Structure formats: C-alpha cells, structure tokens
Amino acid sequence: MAQIQVSDLTFSYDGNADNVFEDISFNIDTDWKLGLIGRNGKGKTTLLNLFMGRYEFAGSVKTGTRFDLFPYNICDSDLAENASDLIERWKPQAEMWQVLIRINELRLDPECLYRPFGTLSFGERSKVMLAVLFACENEFLLIDEPTNHLDAEARNIVKEFLSSKKGFILVSHDRDLLDGVCDHVLVLNRTTIEVQAGNFSSWWENKEKRDAFSVAENEKHLKEIGKLRSAVDRSGRWAEKSENSKIGFDPVKEHERNISTRSYIGAKTKKMQSRVKSFEQRIGREIEEKEGLLQDIERVAELKIEPLKYHKEVLINANDMGLSYAGAEEELFSGLRFQVKRGERVILSGGNGCGKSSIIKAVLERTGQNPGGGELKISGEFDVASGLIISYVSQDTSGLKGSLHKYCEDRALNESLLLAVLRQLDFEREQFSKDLEDYSEGQKKKVLVAASLITPAHIYIWDEPLNFIDVFSRMQIEKLILKYEPTMLIVEHDVRFQEKVGTGTIKIGRKGTE
C-alpha cells in the first residue's frame, strides 16, 4: 500500500478569474476504492486530469504509483479500427491475455475485440475500455462516469466488476453504484475537501447530522448575538447619558451633588464605555465563530413545477403494440401493452436497443412534435390523447449552442425564470454569460431539465435526463416530482431515482412487456 499526497494544490483554467482549486491538501491510499463526489462544475474531472499531468498547476502531487484514466480518448478515425488494435495505443504495456481475463469478468464476448469499435454499443465500448484499464498491476486507476448510457443489466455487471477490484477513484453520480463499490469517499464540498471511510449513503447520513448540528449552532449564535446587541445598545445609552451629566447640573433638583462628583461620574462612564467595547468585541468573536458553520451545507432548494391537468384519465394507451424501422428485418418488440394515466410516473425499462427511446419518439410523432418522415413503423393499437401538451427532455445535448438568452428566445422560454431554476440547481452566475458549447455535460443536462420544468405540460417525457447530473441535483428533482406529482414517462437507469419517483415500470423485451 502506498499513498498519494496532494499538498497546496491550486489550479485555474486560462482566462478564468476564479480558481477551480485553491491550496487544497489531502492524502489517500492507493488500495482504496474511492468515490469522488461533488456538484457539477466543482472540478471532479479536472482533478483526474491533474493526476494525469495534463495541466500545469501550483502545489504538488506526490506518489510512487502510475495513473491511468477511463474513458480513453476516441477520435473519429478510431471508430473504424478494431478494439484489439486500439489497445496498443491506450495501454502499451498491457498483454492481450490480461485483457481477455478482464473481458471474461465483464461477461463480454471476446469477439468484440475484433470488430470495428464504432459498431460496438455504448455498453460494449465501456466494458472493453474497463477491461484494458484493469489489465495491468500496480496502477491507481481514475474512472470517470463509467455507467452513463448503460442499461440496468450492464450497470450491475460493471458494479460487480468494480466491487471486486481496488486501487481506484470513481467519479459517478449513481448512488447505487457508489454504495455498492466504494469503501472511502473524497468529497469536494462547497469550500472544503474531506476524505471519509464508507460509501455515499454513510457519508450522506453523517453529513445530514453535521449539517443539522451546524444549523442549530448557527441559530444559537444568532440569538446570542441579538442579546449582545441589545446589551451594547442599552449600555451605550447609559454611558452617553452619564457622560452628558458630568458637566452642568441643577443645584435645586440635585442639591446633594457638587463639583467633586464629576470625577466619580467620569470613572463610572469610563467603566460603562469599557463594557460597551467588551460587548462589541464579543459580538465580533461570535460572528467570526458563526462564519463557516454553514459554508459546506448543501442547501437542496425546492424547485417548482406547474403541470397542466388533462381532462381524461388515460393519456397513452398501447395494446399489442409493435415497433420497427423502415428497412429493418425484425421488429424492436411486439405485443407490448401499457397505459400512462393522469398522475402516474411510468418508467420504461429494458436493455440498450430494446426500443425505449423509440416509444418516446412514437409518442412525439403522434402529437406532431417530432415528425418522423415515416421511418418508424407501428403495429397494433397505439393511442395518444389529442391536444396533449408535452415537455420533453432528450438524452442528446449536441444541439445546445449559443447563449442562454438565444436559447430562451428560440424556444419562447421565460429567461428570468430559467436562470432562477438554474441558480437553484447550483449554477454560478458567471456561467450565464458563457456559450452553451462551453458547458460541461452535466450543466447542459441541467439546462434541458430546467427548460422542461418551467414548461407547463400535461405530461413530462424525459429520456435519460440524469446522465452527468450531480447527486444533489438529482435529489432536488426527486423531491420536486414527489411534491407536484406530474404525469411522466421516463427512461432512466438510476435505480434510486426509479425507486423514489416511479409509480410503475414497463420492462420491454423482444416480445413486448416481460
């Protein structure tokens, strides 16, 4: 076992006035299974790239181990090459027999190594890269979002694989994966960094307790400061009144007082003024002590949604439904039966390529929101309520370009409302002036989700909305859905999200529902 020692690390991107990291220090062991947790934009991927030596930084990272990073960079020309040919470029020291052992552990057909990489599914690509990543010994591995776009079965395989390994940092917003794999967490809080034994759930439980204590202490300090301010005000008025009485007096009303009394009054006034100063210093100490109590609290601000209520109970009805694409020899599925009723939140579940997104496309085509040009063929009964207003979140963020102002203008969105929701989802104000192309994938997803949330609709159709979105924002979205109970049709592989918000699940197989 060795250690990685990070000391006084400071880094900022060129042209950015704010530091991503400033004088951060921590130590981690190289045999840990470490989960890296933090809000979007806190620098998780940046930290992995700093470990890889891809950026210049101040401070030091001391270790006797070698790093390797998932995912490997893929360019367009790589898609035409076999994965077996790419291994030499990704990890030159890896032997093919080592990769094949990991391929077997990931339950992947070795034949995938001898097909063009571009023909592999997202799950197959991720598994091939993970097999190569873990092929060698004596490395500390950096794993960035390995389960995005993977179905439930592939996620479970990856979770089982990683739980059997050690010596890595895992960046993920999937709570089920973090709990099933990690034995330590490295948390990028709002202003501090902490390392703690345990998984996400144990850390979150401890954090909630600490946050509750900090809030209680903050309230106690505020009350104490209020009392001190009242005492300062009262003593100050007494001192001022006493000071004013030193000079000049009425001998008729104050016949017992003489000129020698002035020194006594002066001493008394000085004592009062000293007490006032002491109170003010104590207030300063209380305020200083209070500052920092709440600096790392994750305030999961409540979002709002205004769903429209449709006049009929059933919004979508499928009976013995089949789907295929023009020119395809086989149907994606057949014999599918399901309904989406008002107030339900239906989860579409199934393996990659089973037709979940195609069902969404069929709904959008029936409502005229996504004219398909006839390539989607529907058999059986498939009815979508007329006049249905849909708010849609696509899994594709590639169309996000230009400014937020232009984005709102093109889609007739209330710009101030969108910005307010993005602020609640932890966007910094500086982000609003950037082009959407410069956003991280998590930030792009938040724009799509926020735009959907501020759109009144009868049904909210979301296709893998949570990819790249941080854990805290996921919890905000869950809380919102449970409070306002909109009608939803959702494709999402996050198990915790499904358990929290779903009222029903449609599992899709070759022969319809399974």
Q: pLDDT tens digit string along 448-484?
A: 999 999 999 999 999 999 988 999 899 989 998 999 9
Order of strands, sheet of 21-29, starting from the edge strand that comes earlier in the sequence: 21-29, 3-11, 58-62
Shared domain check, 322 and 229 = no
Question: For tokens 């880094």, what's the residue?
Answer: 11
**Do 468 and 173 meet the contact criterion of CB atoms below 8 Å apart?**
yes
pLDDT of residue 2: 86
**Is 221 domain-assigned?**
yes
Has residue 302 been placed in a domain?
Answer: no
Q: Are residues 49 and 177 in the same domain?
A: yes
Q: CATH number for the domain including 162?
A: 3.40.50.300
Query: Which domain-ending residue is among 159, 186, 203?
Result: 203
Residue 48 pLDDT level (bands cut at 50, 70, 90): very high
Q: Are 140 and 86 contained in the same domain?
A: yes
- Supply the pLDDT for residue 426: 85
> Do residues 49 and 212 touch, judged by C-beta distance below 8 A?
no
Question: 170 with 277, same domain?
Answer: no
Whether 111 maps to a domain, the answer reads yes
Q: What is the pTM of this model?
A: 0.76
Query: CA–CA distance from 146 to each of 172, 446, 506 (Å)?
Result: 7, 20, 25
**Of 152-166, 415-429, 487-501, which gets the smallest average pLDDT?**
415-429
Residue 408 lies in a domain: yes
Q: Which of 113-117, 220-224, 226-230, 262-266 tops mean pLDDT? A: 113-117
Instruction: Point out the least confidently predicted range of 143-157, 281-295, 370-384.
Output: 281-295
In angstroms, the CA 421 to CA 301 distance is 10
Which class for 105: exposed (0-12), middle (13-18), buried (19 or more C-beta within 10 A)? middle
Q: Which residue has the higher pLDDT, 367 or 238?
A: 367
230 and 177 fall within a common domain: no
Domain check: are 267 and 152 in the same one? no
304 belongs to a structural domain: no
The 8-class DSSP code of residue 116 comes to: B
pLDDT at position 293: 46
Residue that terminates a domain, selected from 182, 203, 224: 203
Average pLDDT along the chain: 86
Q: Is the previous residue joined to 486 through a cis bond, with omega within 30 degrees of 0?
A: no
Whether residue 238 lies inside any domain: the answer is yes
Most confident listed range (234-248, 254-268, 274-288, 450-464): 450-464
247 and 358, same domain (yes or no): no
**Do residue 337 and residue 269 come from a single domain?**
no
- Residue 407 falls inside a structural domain: yes
Q: Rounded CA gap, 129 and 415, in Å?
A: 41
Please tell me whether residues 276 and 323 are part of one structural domain: no
User: Do 109 and 234 have their domain in common?
Assistant: no
Domain range for residue 396?
314-513
Same domain, 90 and 157: yes
Q: Residue 461's pLDDT is what?
A: 97
The pLDDT tens digits for 316-354 are 999 999 999 887 778 889 999 999 999 999 999 988 888
**Domain end (from 151, 177, 203):** 203
**Co-location of 190 and 238 in the same domain:** no
Q: Indicate the number of domains in the chain.
A: 3
297 within a domain of the structure (yes/no): no
Q: Report the distance separating Cα 249 and Cα 263, nearest Å.
A: 14
Any idea which of 89-103, 223-237, 357-371, 396-410 has the lowest mean pLDDT? 223-237
Dist CA 450 CA 58 (whole Å): 36
